[in-house]
A and B are shown apart, each in its own frame.
Chain A
C-alpha cells in the first residue's frame, strides 16, 4: 500500500500541475527602481540556427543548402538583418522588433556540450552544468535562489513554468509555481510520423490503425511516393498552443504582483527530413514561435520595456542539408533575444565561416560563443545576479566564461 499521509493543499497543487505560489522579489534590481522580467523559452529538438538566421553574405552558404538555402531573393525572401545575416521570412514580428532595437541575435553559439544526444544536450542546456549527468536543478532556478529576496510583496511570485511539468531549467531549490494550459498540446506531427514509421516496420496492424485514425490512409495506399509526407496536426493548432502558452506567461509576468521569471519549452525542432525552412514544417514552427513572441509583447504591455525573452536550444544542426532535405544533429546555433530592455538591433557573432575546413568536425557550424556567456550577461545586468555566483552556483565551473557585456540598454 502507498503510505498515505495527509496531502497538504500545496502538494496537491504541485502534483496536479496547477499553480502554486511563493513570494519574493529580486532586491537589488528593485533598489535601482527597476522591475525586470525574464522569460526563457527552450526549444527542444535542436533548432537549425542557419535556417532561422541565415548567413546570406557568406559565399559558402548557398552550396551547403542548395535549394533549401534562405536567400534575399528567395521565395519567400529572407528578411535582412544586416549586411551579412537575414532572418527566416516566417518571423516578421521578430524582424520588426529587431529593426526597432528590441531584439538581438547571437549566432554560432553553443553550450559546452559537444556530443549530439538530445537528452544529454538538453540536460546541459538547462542544468547549466558543463557536462551531462544527473542534474536535479536548472541554472535559472539556482540564479533565482541566489537573489536576495526583497520581502514578500503582496501575493508576488518568483518564477513559474508553463506546462504540466516544470522544465529542468526552472527546477530546483527555489519554489516554482506552475500553470497548465487548459489543453495540452496534441502529439506533434513529428511524433506521429516517428510512430507510424516504427509501426510500419514492426506492427502493420497498429500502423494501419493509426494511419486511418490520423487520416493518412491515402498516403499509406500511395506507398513509396518519395517525399510525400503526411501533414502534421494543423499548423493553426500549433500556433494557438504557442501563443496561448507564451501569452499567458506574459500575462502573469506583467502583473504588478505576478512572478518575474518564467520558463517554457516548445518541442518539435528535430528536423531530420523535409525540414521545410521556407514553406514546410520548420517555417510553421518558426511562425508559431514568432506568434508567441508577438503574444508576449502584447500581453506584457507596459512591462515590455523591462522584459527580456531568451530563446535557446540544446544544439544546432548540420551545416549541410542531408539526403532527405533535412539536417542532422549539429553543434552551434542561434540564441534569439527579444524584449524592450535589450540593446538590440544587432547580430552578435564571431563568425567562424562555412568553408569545409572551418566547420566543426567538418560538418557543423563551429561554436565561437559560449551560450553561458550570453545567459550570464543577461542574469548579471538584468537581474543583478553576482558574477561570482554565476561562475560557481548558477553555471558551475564557468569562471573562464565571462558574462557578455552590453546586452541590455541599462548595464
Chain B
C-alpha cells in the first residue's frame, strides 16, 4: 500500500500520535518518519515541567495533613461545618435559582485535597497531550503508564498517581525498561496499589512480632503483568519467593516522619531474611539489593522481551500484530538491554507499522484528545473532558484491575453510542470557533473517504458536521 506523503503524515499522526492539529499534516508531509523520530530526540521529551505540581512525597503529606484536619473537624462536631457556608454571589447565585433548591441544601465544601491534586495532575496531562506536536512520546507515556498502571481508586493513590506517572513513567519513557521497572516497583503508588507496603516477611523482625505477614500481590503482578507475562516461565513457588524478596519495600509512615512520610523506604525490619530462589536463580544477598537483582534479571528476560514487544505492537499496529514484527521488536529489546527509545525507533522503522490497515479503534482517551486537537480546543475547565473519559469507560488513572485498560478494539465498540453523545457535546462545547470543512482538511484530509466528506459538508449545522467528523470511521480508527 503506497501512500502519498500527506496520507503517510496523517496516518502517522493518528496511529503514532494524538491526532492532527491545524497544520500538522502539512508540516510533517515531507518526512513523516523523520518527524516521529525528531519528537523522540527533543530535549526533555516526555517530561512535564510545571512547578505547581507536587512530588509524590509532598502530595502524600498534603493529603495526610488534610485528612488529619478533616478527622479533627469531625471530632470537634458539626458546628464548624455550619459556619463555613459560602455566601452565594454573582453567577453562582443565578445558577442556583435556575434549579429547584435541593431538599437539604448543604454547602458544597469543594473537592478534597487528594481530588484537587488529582485534577491538577489530570489537567497537566491533558495539556501535555493537547500541546504535543505529534504526540508520539505522549502515546508512549500513556502506553507505559497503562502497562504499569495504578488506580486512583485505591487508598492513598489518588493524590500521587499523577506524580507517579511523572516520576517513574515520564522520567524513563525513552530510557531503559529496567530503570523504569525498578522505579515503578519502588514507588509508593505501586506499593500502595498492590499492597506491598504492608507485606511482611514471616521470619523478619516485624513478622515474628506481629500476626500479619506476606502479601503476594505485587510479586505476582510483576511477573504476570509487568515483565514475563502470564503462563510463561514462573511457578507459584517463584511468586512466593519473589514476594519474600520484596518484603520491606514499603513507604515511610506519615505519623512517624513528617518530613519523609509517604516516600519509599526499604525497611529491613519487615524484610524476610535469607536467600531466595526465583526462576532457577539463587539470590543470596540480603536487603534491598536482593530485590533489585531479581528485577534486573526479569528486565532482561527473553519472556519479558516477547511480552513487551507484543504489547507494543498490539497497541501501535494491530490487535493481531504481525508475528515477524513482534519477533523483531523482541530481538531489539534484548540487543539494546531494553532501550525504550530504540524500541520506539524500531516501531517507526517497521514497514508493518505503515502498511497495516487502519482497523484499530482509538481508545477513548486517544479519541477524546484527538477531537479536541482537531478543533484547536484548549479547555481551561477539564470537567467535561474527564466526564467524557468516565462515560466512555476509560476514567483517567482508574483502571478496574492491575492489567490496565484493554487494548483490543472490540470491547470499546460497545461505547460507540456514548461516543456519539460525547461527539455531539464536544462539537457544541468546544467547536464554537471551528469550521468543520477546515477541521476535515486538517484532521483527515487524504484519509477521508468521499462518503465521509459528503456527510460532513452536507451536515445541517456546524455542530452536526463536527460530530460526524469525530465519529467518522477514519477519525475513530487508526
Q: Which residues of A contact B (CB under 8 A)?
A: 1-2, 4, 7, 11-13, 15-21, 44-46, 118-119, 122, 155, 157, 163-166, 177, 179, 182, 184-188, 190-192, 194-195, 197-199, 201-203, 205-206, 209-210, 213-214, 248, 251-252, 267-270
Contact = CB atoms under 8 A, between A and B. Distances in A.
Contact of A195 (B128, B379, B420): B420
21 contacts: A7-B380, A12-B381, A16-B380, A17-B429, A18-B91, A19-B91, A122-B462, A155-B94, A164-B425, A164-B428, A186-B424, A187-B421, A187-B424, A191-B468, A195-B455, A198-B473, A199-B473, A209-B413, A209-B414, A209-B416, A267-B460
B416 A21 contact: no
Contacts, number: 144
A201 B468 CA distance: 14
A7 B428 CA distance: 22
A75 B94 CA distance: 45
A324 B98 CA distance: 43
A4 B95 contact: no
Q: What's the interface size class on B, roughly?
A: 35 or more
Given A21-B90, A191-B464, A16 B49 contact: no
A300 B108 CA distance: 31
A268 B467 CA distance: 13
A248 B130 CA distance: 35
B43 to A, nearest CB: 13
A251 B99 CA distance: 11
Contacts of B462: 119, 122
Nearest to A184: B425
Contacts of A190: 460, 464
Interface stretch (B14-22, B247-255, B432-440): B432-440
A188 B421 CA distance: 9
Contact of A163 (B127, B428, B437): B428
Interface of B: 48-50, 52, 90-91, 93-95, 98-99, 127-128, 130-131, 378-381, 383-384, 413-414, 416-417, 420-421, 423-425, 428-429, 431-432, 435-437, 449, 451-452, 455, 459-465, 467-468, 471-473, 476-477
Contact of A1 (B99, B128, B424, B425): B128
Contact of A165 (B50, B130, B429): B429
A83 to B, nearest CB: 34
Centre residue among A20, A21, A45, A119 by max chain B CB count within 10 A: A119
A270 B48 contact: no
A207 B421 CA distance: 16
A187 B460 contact: no
A197 B455 contact: yes
Given A21-B94, A164-B429, A270-B460, 8 more contacts: A16-B383, A45-B464, A155-B94, A165-B428, A184-B425, A195-B471, A202-B473, A209-B413
B424 A13 contact: no
B416 A2 contact: no
A190 B459 CA distance: 10
A198 B468 contact: yes
Given A44-B460, A187-B423, A119 B437 contact: yes
Contacts of A18: 91, 95
B413 A2 contact: no
Contacts of B383: 16
Per CB-CB distance, the 6 closest pairs between chain A and chain B, nearest first, are A270-B460, A45-B460, A213-B417, A203-B473, A15-B380, A165-B432
